[in-house]
Amino acid sequence: MRLAFSTLGVPGLPVTDVIHLAAANGYHGVELRAHPEEPVHPGLDLAQRADVASEFKAGGIELLGLAGYARVAAPGDDGPVIEEIRALLDLARDLGAPYVRVFPGADHEQTTERADAVAARRLGTAAEYAADLGVRILLETHDSHRTGAAAMRVLGLVGHRHVGALWDVMHTWLGGEQPSESYAALSPYLGYVQVKDIASPTDTTPLPLGAGVLPLTDCIEVLSRNNWDGWLCWEYEKRWYENAAPLPELLAGGREHLGRLLNECA
């Protein structure tokens, strides 16, 4: 398995510095948070996009994916949501990223069946555009569909190889699933896995990997046992927790911890 980290842990950091951090700490790739407050977002022009792609190539670091914020099950018209996804897909194509992340985002007034159907319809429409660009849309286990079982309901309705799953291990665990259950649900669709650690179900302040309660050993064990050979991406949510320790000083230790788990589970 290859290791990456998300720029959610280093909000606003220039691309050059992000690439340097990855190379200096032994990571193979980076997930970029694609938001207007970040250096990389869909508002970049073609020249800026070319510069970002060149920086990653020169630095020898892979661009794993773009973490977008489209909410595919949210109430409202389909058009704006599909356009948001298409803008992310265009950016991913221009940067050479294989994946874009979207959220479910249903609200409490929607029935489960309605939310699933809306999400599947929008993802199915966007999938054809994604296929033309050679990029894959990943629905993250998050918010209204935080478990593998919930995400699988939507992905099963879509049935398109350019729509898959991003397994956020915190959300499936908070949703009551064991890693073996999450993997069983998501494995036919799995793009990559986001790892992290937290103090407790009621305190999700990010911690160094291995310092909290999330079942990272069990997650990596089930991936290894099934010969899954994809990406593990450390999503350290510094952007939302100002008092969390700075990510740069934790990166080397996180990489070493994941390396130990991979060796133990091999």
CATH number of the domain where residue 24 is located: 3.20.20.150
H-helix or E-strand containing 256?
helix 251-265
In total, how many domains does the chain have?
A: 1
| Per-residue confidence band for 17, with pLDDT thresholds at 50, 70 and 90 | very high
pLDDT digits (tens, 9 = 90+) for 50-109: 999 999 999 999 999 999 999 999 999 999 999 999 999 999 999 999 999 999 999 988
- Which DSSP letter does residue 107 get? -
* pTM check: above 0.75: yes
Please state, in angstroms and rounded to a whole number, the distance separating the CA atoms of residues 195 and 173. 11
pLDDT digits (tens, 9 = 90+) for 226-252: 999 999 999 999 999 989 999 999 999
Nearest to 39 by CA among 24, 55, 23: 55
Torsion angle, alpha carbons of 6, 24, 253, 61, to 10 = 40
Sign of CA dihedral 39, 41, 44, 49: positive
pLDDT value for 191: 98
Nearest to 245 by CA among 215, 205, 214: 205
Average pLDDT, the chain: 97
Domain membership of residue 145 as a residue range = 2-265
Sign of CA dihedral 143, 144, 148, 154: negative
pLDDT digits (tens, 9 = 90+) for 114-144: 999 999 999 999 999 999 999 999 999 999 9
Residue 21, pLDDT above cutoff 80: yes
Nearest to 225 by CA among 174, 184, 169, 176: 184
Residue 266, pLDDT above cutoff 90: no
